[in-house]
């Protein structure tokens, strides 16, 4: 599965710790991230991550494009609900596309944990059928 990992600055440490805790699950998948988030996770783990541009420079839109092209199966996006972001429209667009394409998306760590456990259990296998039928 193709997973996107994204975190706003005040949530990056949480996502890095999450990636360390769940490295064994994450390493079985293709990982993608916005620039700074991906760099931070790679520094702290042995995970290989394809890094898009930093969020404010278009990274959220690049991940949105991957969703629209059916290349993303799950998104863990730890948003900071207490800080205004200069690229708020990009953030909204990314979340919207998850809803348009029915992509499981977690915006906080509690849901992220549930999604990752579901992934490990095979609950997201239906995504393979969706992808096969859209190719
Ligand atoms: O801003 C972001 C998501 O909206 C995250 O971008 P970075 O991972 O580059 O900090």
Domain residue spans of the chain:
2-123
Q: What is the ipTM of this complex?
A: 0.98
Average pLDDT score over residue span 82-106: 97
pLDDT of residue 133: 87
pLDDT of residue 8: 98
CA distance 43 to 16: 9
Residue 80 alpha carbon to ligand 1 centre in Å: 11
Residue 135 has pLDDT above 80, yes or no: no
Strands 49-51 and 74-78, sheet pairing: unpaired
The whole-chain average pLDDT of the chain stands at 97
pLDDT of residue 134: 81
Residue 99 has pLDDT above 90, yes or no: yes
35 annotated to a ligand binding site: yes
Give 23's DSSP letter. H
122 annotated to a ligand binding site: no
pTM of the full predicted structure? 0.97
Spot the catalytic one: 9, 60, 80, 123. 60
Average pLDDT score over residue span 94-111: 98
Average pLDDT score over residue span 11-18: 98
CA distance 97 to 66: 10
Give the atom of ligand 1 at the shortest distance from the alpha carbon of 33. Answer: 8
Average pLDDT score over residue span 4-29: 98
The band of 56, judged by pLDDT with boundaries at 50, 70 and 90, is: very high
Pocket of ligand 1 (CB under 6 A): 6, 8, 34-37, 54-56, 59-60, 91
pLDDT of residue 96: 98
In the residue annotation, 60 being an active-site residue is answered as yes
Torsion, CA 42, CA 120, CA 66, CA 112, rounded to 10 = -70
Name the CATH architecture for the domain at 2-123: 3-Layer(aba) Sandwich (3.40)
């Amino acid at each position: 599965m193709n997973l996107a990992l994204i975190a706003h600055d005040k949530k990056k440490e949480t996502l890095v710790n999450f990636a360390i805790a769940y490295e064994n699950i994450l390493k079985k998948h293709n990982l993608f991230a916005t620039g700074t988030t991906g760099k931070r996770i790679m520094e702290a783990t042995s995970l290989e991550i394809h890094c898009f541009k930093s969020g404010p420079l278009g990274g959220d839109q690049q991940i949105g494009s991957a969703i629209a092209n059916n290349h993303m199966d799950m998104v863990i996006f730890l948003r900071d609900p207490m800080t205004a972001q200069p690229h708020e429209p990009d953030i909204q667009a990314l979340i919207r596309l998850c809803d348009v394409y029915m992509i499981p998306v977690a915006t906080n760590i509690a849901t992220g944990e549930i999604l990752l456990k579901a992934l490990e259990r095979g609950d997201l296998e239906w995504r393979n059928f969706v992808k096969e039928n859209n190719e």
